[in-house]
Amino acid sequence: MKVMTLNFLTCAVKNCKSSNDSFPLHPKEAELAKDDIEINPQLLINVLPRIDWAALRTTSTELGFPTLPEQPPSPEDLQSDEALLKELHELLMETQMMEGKLVCGHCGHEYAVKNGVANFLLPSHLV
């Protein structure tokens, strides 16, 4: 489960979809790993506007990383700043949550993450 992916996930429970508390999901007891992935500048620069930066800041902080700046870098920033690009790549693409739980801030349901894969199947009473 990449940090990038977390930026696009919310609780699978229908009633939670409309709640602001269901996003982002909160990592709990997270064990992280870092993959070695080749950087794709074109992808990153284009993906940047699709990211909910505020949520990314939250996730990043909750995972124990230093606080991200309030504003996202601009595409120009990324194009001209190689180091910045690389950092973003490391955070979004290379950082993996291998184990732990993802908790919905609205209903409190916890989704297990095992071997890097999150399981969003709901118990029948939550469907």
Site for another protein in 28-87 (CB under 8 A): 31-50, 52, 60, 64-75, 77, 79, 81-87
Q: Which residues contact 32 (CB under 8 A, 6 or more apart)?
A: 63, 95, 96, 97, 98
Question: Is residue 5 close enough to count as binding another protein by CB under 8 A?
Answer: yes
From edge to edge, which strands make up the β-sheet containing 95-103?
Answer: 26-34, 95-103, 110-114
Residues 8-27 that bind another protein (CB under 8 A): 8-14, 17, 23
Query: Which member of 27, 58, 106, 111 binds another protein (CB under 8 A)?
Result: 111
Question: Is residue 105 close enough to count as binding another protein by CB under 8 A?
Answer: no
Query: Closer CB to another protein, residue 105 or residue 118?
Result: 118
Quote the tokens at residue 59: 């996730």
Nearest in space to 95 (alpha carbons), one of 25, 30, 12: 30
Smallest separation (angstroms) from another protein to the CB of 125? 10
Quote the tokens at residue 85: 């690009």
Question: Is residue 107 close enough to count as binding another protein by CB under 8 A?
Answer: no
Query: Which member of 59, 96, 101, 106 binds another protein (CB under 8 A)?
Result: 96
Residues in binding contact with another protein, number by CB under 8 A:
80
CA separation for the pair 1, 92 (Å, rounded) = 10
Which amino acid would we find at residue 7? Answer: N
Containing 77, the helix (H) or strand (E) segment is helix 75-80
Query: Which member of 2, 105, 107, 110 binds another protein (CB under 8 A)?
Result: 2
